[in-house]
Structure 1
Amino acid sequence: MYRFLPAQLRKQPLALVGILLLATFAILALFAPLLAPDNPATIDLTHRLSPPTAAHWFGTDELGRDILSRVIFGARLSLSISVSVVACSLSLGIVFGGIAGYYGGAIDTAINTFAMNAFMAMPGILLAIAFVAFLGPGMLNLILALSIGGWVGYARLVRAQVLAVREREFVESARALGASNLRIFVRHILPNIIQPLIVQSAIGMAGAVLAEATLSFLGLGVPPPTASWGSMLDEARSHLFDAPHLVLFPALAVMLCVLCFNFLGDALRDYLDPRTRLSVGL
C-alpha cells in the first residue's frame, strides 16, 4: 500500500500512521461480524470482569460480554454515525454557505446573522444534548443532533470561499455565456473550493467520533445492548480500579480513531495547499 501513495504523503510519517489506523478501523467496521470472536450482546455471568486472557483478549465486562467484540462493533457504530454526521453537516453547509456567499446582500445578511451566528452562539454539544434529550436516544436522533450543531462551521467556510471565487474571470465568463446560477455554482465554483472542504471534513470526522462517544457516555447515544465506545466507558466507571481493562480498551479506541482523522486532516491540508507544500518541500 505504501508504494501507491503519492510521493508527498510518503514524506509524512504521521500521514502514514493515520492511513493505517483508518484502514484498520474501516476493516473492523465493515467486517465486524466476521472479525468479532463473540456476539457483543452475549451475557456470561460466570466470566464477568475477567481480565484479558487467551479466550478473551480484552477481557470481559460486568455482564461477561467480550470487550474485544464490543470494541469491534463499536467501531462500526462510531464510524457509521461519524460519516453520516459529516455528510449531513457538509451538505447543509454547502447549501446555506453557497447561497449566502453567491448571492450576497440581504440574503447573505439574513443567513449569516440569523442562522449561522445564532447557532454559533450555542455550544454544539449542549445543543445536541438538548435535542437528544427531547426526542430520545437513537441512532437517527443522534445523527440529526450532531448535524444541527455541526453544519455552521462548514457553512462559514463555504461562504468565505465562494465570496473569494464568485468574481473570478471564469465565473464571469460562464455568467456571460448564459449559464444558470446552479450550473455556475456546481460546475465552476464548487470544484474550486472543494480542497478546504475535504480537509475540514477529515478533521470534522474526529470531532464527530468524540461527540458521539460523549453523548453515549452521558446515556444519550444508541440504546443498549448496542455496543458503543462511549457507553462502554460509562459502564466501566464503577470498575475503574478493580477492572481497569474495562476503561482502557474503549478509551484507546476513541483516542486512536480521533488521532487518525487529525493526522489525515493535517496531511491533507499540507498536501492540498501549494504554499504549504512548497514551504515544507513536499
Structure 2
Amino acid sequence: MRRTVAENDEYFEVYDPAGNVVGRALRRDCHGHPELRHRTSHVAVFHPDGRLLLQKRAGTKDIQPGKWDTAVGGHLRPGEDYEAGARREMHEELGIAADLPLFRLFELTIANPVETEEVGVFGLVYAGPFEAQAEEIDELRFWTREELLDPANRQRMTPNLLEELKLLFEWANWPPVPADADGELPPEEGSAPPEEAFSFRRTAWRRFWSDPVARIGVAGILLLFVPSLLAPFLVNGRPLLLRTSEGWSMPFLRYFFAPDTTEVLIEQLFNYALLLIPLLLAVRRLSRRRPKRRWWLSAAVALLCLAPFVWTKPVMDKTDFRAVLAADPANWALFAPVPYSPYELVASPYEKPSAKHWMGTDDIGRDVTARMLYGGRVSLAVGILATVVALVIGTALGLCTGYFGGKFDLVTMRMVEIIICFPTFLLLLILMAIFRDWKFEQSILIIIGVLGLTGWIGLCQLVRGEVLKHRTLPYIRSCEAIGLPVWRTMLFHLLPNVSGPILISFSFAVAGAILSESSLSFLGFGVQPPTASWGGLLRQAFNDPFAYWHLTLWPGLALFIAVSAFNFTGEGMRKIFDPKA
C-alpha cells in the first residue's frame, strides 16, 4: 500500500547521491524524487529500566517518521554530521543538554515509494527531567515493548519507524518486531521473558568493559578477591577429606562454619559469601522466567545458608593430622594446596621462599602464603565495610542537608568543618589506642568502625553539592506538587539521580581504607596478632627489609595491586557517569 504524505510548507536540506548539498526544497517537491536523498539523525531516549521514548500523535494518525519516530530527530543542516544534528534536535525539541553522552546505535538507509533516507541513530539514557515543546507533542511518555506491540496504541506504523524499531529490537536483545507487508503490527501473543527485555545496564557494562584501564582494575580486584574468598579450600591445616579406620570425615567442615580465630565474624562473613554466591547463581538460572519467585527463593536460600553459621559452636581441636596419617599407612587425606593454617608454626623463622613454603615464613615460623591469603580477607573486609559505613552516613547527611537546607544545613556543615580540622590519621591512632586499652578482641570491627566514622566527610560534601544542583529541577518540584512524602522523593527520585558520583567515590574510598588499615597495622595499632594482615607482615620486616625481602615483597605487591585496582575501577566508572569524560 502506497502511503500519501500531506503537503505543507516544510523545507528540507537535500543532497544528491554523492552527498553534496543541493540546497533547500519544499517537502512536497522532495518526496519521490529519484535524484534526491534525505539525511536524518535520530536519538532514541531510553529510560534506565529499558523503556523507549516514543510520541503518539493525537487522533488516529500514525506515529510519524522524521522528528518524532524514535524519540527525537530531524533532517541535518548544511555542514552537520549525524551526531551534531542529533544533539541539536535533542536540545531544540526536548530541552535536553547538548553535552550529554550519546552512544551510536546504528545507521541505515531507508528506501520506499515515498522517499529515501540515510539515518544515523544514537542512544541516550534518560538522566533526569526535560521539557518538550508543548505545541508539537500531544503525549510524551516512555513505552515498554508490550506497548509497542499493542495495536490499540496506533493504527499502522510507517515504514521508516518499522525499519528502525526492527534494528532497535535487535540491538536491545528484544524478540523481532512482527509485521506484515504493509507494516501493520499484529497483536502480542505473549510477554517477553524479563531476561530478554532491554536493560541499559548491559550498555553501561559494555562501555565500562571497553575501557582498558577499567578492565585492568576489575582483573586486579578479582585477583585479590577470588583467592581470599576460596581461602579455606586453598589454605587449610585440616584435611578437606580424611579416611581412617573409623570411616570417612571432613575435618575442615566444622571450622568452616565456626572458625577458631579471634576475628570470627569476618571469617564467617567470607565463608558465608563463599557458600551463598554459587547457590544464588543457581537460583537465578533456575528461575530465569519467573522473576517474582526468584526473590523469594533467594531469600530462602540466604536464610538456609545462615543457619549452620548460627548453630555450629566453636571447638578447640589441636589434632596433628600429619601424625594421624603417619600412624597408619592405610589412612588417607586430601589436603588443600597449602596444607598449613595461618596460625600454625610449621618451620624456622624467616625462611626464604621454597617449594614447601611458596612465600617463605614469618618471624615465628608461620607460612607466609597462608597469612597472605587470610590477610587479603582482612584488607578487603575493612576496605569495603568501612567504606559502606562512611557511604551510609555521608549519603544520608548529604541528602538531608542539601534537601532541607536552612538551619539544619548550617549547623551540619559547621560540624563537618570542625571535624575536618582534626588530622584524620592522628584521630585514628587515638581511637585505636583507646579501644586497645579496653581489651576489645575484635580489632577488625574497631578498625571498620573508626574508618567508617571518620571517612564520611568528603562524601557528605559531594552528595550535598549534587543535591543542591538537583533540588531546584522540575522533577523534584513535580514530586512536591503532587504531594509525595519527603522520604519517597529523596529515596526514589533524588537519590538515583545523584548516585553516579557516589559510586565513583565509593571505589576510590575503598582503596584509601585498605591503605589506612595497612598503615595502622604496620604501626601496631591495627589488626592485632595472631590475625594475619598485610600491614602486620610488613612490620615484621621492619628491622631489616633487605634481609627479610619476602616479608616486604609480597604484602607490598598485594597492597599495590589492591589500591591500583580500585582506583582504576573508579576511573572506569567515572567515564560512564561523567558526561564530560
TM-score band, normalised by shorter chain: over 0.9
**Counterpart residue number, 1:130:** 430
Are the aligned partners of 1:128 and 1:148 in contact in 2 as well (CA < 8 Å)?
no
What's the CA shift string for 1:20-42, capped at 9, x where partnerless?
11112111221111122121111
**Aligned residue number for residue 63 of structure 1:** 364
Letter in 2 for 1:191: P
1:89 partner SS: helix
Cα pair 2:343 2:530 within 8 Å, conserved: yes
Q: 1:190 aligns with which of 483, 487, 495?
A: 495
- Residue 237 (str. 1) matches residue 542 (str. 2): yes
Contact 1:202–1:264 at 8 Å: present in 2 too? yes
Contact 2:518–2:535 (CA under 8 A) maintained in structure 1: yes
Select the residue among 84, 91, 102 that pairs with 2:385.
84
Query: Which structure 1 segments of 5+ residues have no match?
Result: 277-282
Alpha-carbon distance in 2 for matches of 1:213, 1:234: 10
What residue in structure 2 maps to residue 95 of structure 1? Answer: 396
Match of 1:255 in 2: 560
Matches of 1:81 and 1:263, distance apart in 2: 19
| One-letter amino acid of the counterpart of residue 129, structure 1 | L
* Matched residue, 2:375: 74
Query: Which letter maps to 2:546?
Result: F
Q: How many Å apart are 1:85 and its aligned residue?
A: 0.5
- The worse-fitting range, judged by mean Cα deviation, of 188-197 and 267-276 is 267-276
Post-superposition shift, 1:4? 10
In structure 1, give the amino acid aligned to 2:341. Answer: N
Structure 2 counterpart of 1:110, from 411, 414, 423:
411
1:106 deviation in Å? 1.0
Q: Is there any run of 5+ residues in structure 2 with no aligned partner, and where? A: 1-201, 236-337
* 1:195-248 Cα shifts (integer Å, max 9, x gaps): 000000000000000000011111111211100011111111123122211111
Structure 2 residue matching 1:248: 3-state secondary structure = helix
Work out whether 1:220 is the aligned partner of 2:525. yes
Maintained 8 Å contact 1:81/1:143: yes
**Aligned position for 1:279:** none
Q: Which whole-Å CA distance do the structure 2 matches of 1:4 and 1:238 have between them?
A: 52
Q: Figure out how many residues of one structure are paired with residues of the other and give that number.
A: 272
Equivalent AA in structure 1 for residue 420 of structure 2: M
Q: How does 1:168-179 map to 2 (within 5 A)?
A: 168-179=473-484
Question: Cα–Cα, structure 1 residues 4 and 32, in superposed 2: closer, same or farther, change >3 Å?
Answer: farther
Task: Report SS of the residue matched to 1:237.
Answer: coil
Code of the aligned partner of 2:344: T
Flag as ranges the 4+ runs of structure 1 deviating above 2 A.
Answer: 3-12
**Aligned counterparts of 1:141 and 1:242: Cα–Cα separation in 2:** 33
RMSD across aligned positions (CA): 1.6
Q: 1:5 to 1:16 in 2, by over 3 A?
A: farther
- Does the CA-based 8 Å contact 2:204-2:576 persist in structure 1? no
Greater percentage in helix = 1
- Residue 5 of structure 1 deviates from its aligned partner by 8.6
Q: 1:262 to 1:248 in 2, by over 3 A?
A: same
Which residue in 1 is equivalent to 2:343? 41
Q: Which residue of 1 aligns with 2:211?
A: 12
Instruction: Give the residue type in structure 1 aligned to 2:567.
Output: N
If the length of structure 2 is used for normalisation, what is the TM-score?
Answer: 0.46
Q: Is the 8 A contact 1:28 1:76 kept in 2?
A: no
Q: Give the TM-score taking structure 1 as reference length.
A: 0.92
Inter-partner Cα distance in structure 1 for 2:494 and 2:452 = 24
Q: Helix, strand or coil for the counterpart of 2:456? A: helix
Secondary structure of the residue aligned to 1:50 is coil
- Report SS of the residue matched to 2:208: helix
CA distance in 2, matches of 1:251, 1:5: 33
